[in-house]
Amino acid sequence: MTDEAGLNLFQQQEANRRRTIWLVIGFVLFFAWLGFGGDFIYYLSTREAGPRTYHHTFPWFGLLLTAIGAGIARYGFATGPNKVLWSTGARELTEPASDKERQLVNVVEEMAIAAALPRPRIWVVPDADPNAFATGLDQAKSHIAVTQGLLDLCSRDELQAVIAHELGHVKNLDVRLMTTLAALVGAVALMHDGMGRLITSGFRSGRGISSGGGGGGSRGGKKGGLGQLVIVLLVLWVITWILAPIISQFLAMAVSRKREFLADAMGAQFTRNPMALATALQKIEGAESPTSSIKRGAAHLCIADPLGRRVNLHEGGFSNLLATHPPMTARIARLKGMAYQRLKAEGQFPTA
């Protein structure tokens, strides 16, 4: 099995391991920039202060925020799957209480065997909108979650195809990358909100970084130039905080969008029934309302965008930047093409 870039399964797994490492490194470096950048701005703003006032010379902002970033990254990586499941209100299915739940357990076990994977833990999200996602850190510690709406809507073959799609993400180790990304996106959003309140309260109370005016002659000019530099750096620093959640969200979208095609293909391979996934996706796409239990931070994990955004209906341009998923019509068309090729190979269609 190869993806669109020509990578085989093992190369895809290794690429996902590398991307996860670089994602964590980038996250820590982002916090380091915020900390040491703040230290530098504070240093410049206090360098010309009087002898009895505070001079910021030790980079404790940078050291503290770098340590916080590393701690959050480690905690997010270790607890990401649990946090994702908790955020959706999912309950683990240990003792099936209905025929649909027993069917789900049977389907997961069958598809795990077909994919040559350990059986994942099974969860049900109490939401009427049909959707599903996989999360976890590796193949041995994976989770499959489906909404109650999916259980109620899909036939057995369609449910099997959806589960096979999610196990494709597990097989590729997409779940490690996307779960870590979900945890870090959430952490960035929380830090952004906290720093936003801190900056707002600082300006409201009249505390700000002085532009260093005062005096005349050459010394006044020097201080004025220094004040302008501080203001420019401060603006860039604040803009970084403002854009951080937006950039991290774009990253989540870019990471997940192209992976859906590969997971669709793997799901079709595991079930040997591409049309089942095509009809399941058609039913999911035709659902009336977004999946309210799954929030923005975990949207890129789902088989379909739980937020119901119209930007997912298109390809190219801004859609490639803003959409978490490729257009459902494109995915369905590819699956139908696979089904046609399979029937043709079996001699059910004339070759000429």
Select which of 158, 166, 260, 285 is catalytic: 166
Angstrom distance (rounded) from CA 224 to CA 220: 6
Query: Is position 14 annotated as part of the catalytic site?
Result: no
Q: What angle do CA 135, 318, 13 make, to 5 degrees?
A: 30
Q: SS3 sequence, the chain?
A: CECCCCCEHHHHHHHHHHHHHHHHHHHHHHHHHHHHHHHHHHHHHHCCCCCCCCCCCCCHHHHHHHHHHHHHHHHHHHHHHHHHHHHHCCEECCCCCCHHHHHHHHHHHHHHHHCCCCCCEEEEECCCCCCEEEEEEECCEEEEEEEHHHHHHCCHHHHHHHHHHHHHHHHHCHHHHHHHHHHHHHHHHHHHHHHHHHHHHHHHCCCCCCCCCCCCHHHHHHHHHHHHHHHHHHHHHHHHHHHHHHHHHHHHHHHHHCHHHHHHHHHHHHHCCHHHHHHHHHHHHCCCCCCCCCCHHHHHHECCCCCCCHHHHCCCCHHHHHCCCCCHHHHHHHHHHHHHHHHHHCCCCCCC
Tell me how crowded residue 112 is: count the other CB atoms within 10 A of its CB.
21
Residues belonging to the active site: 166
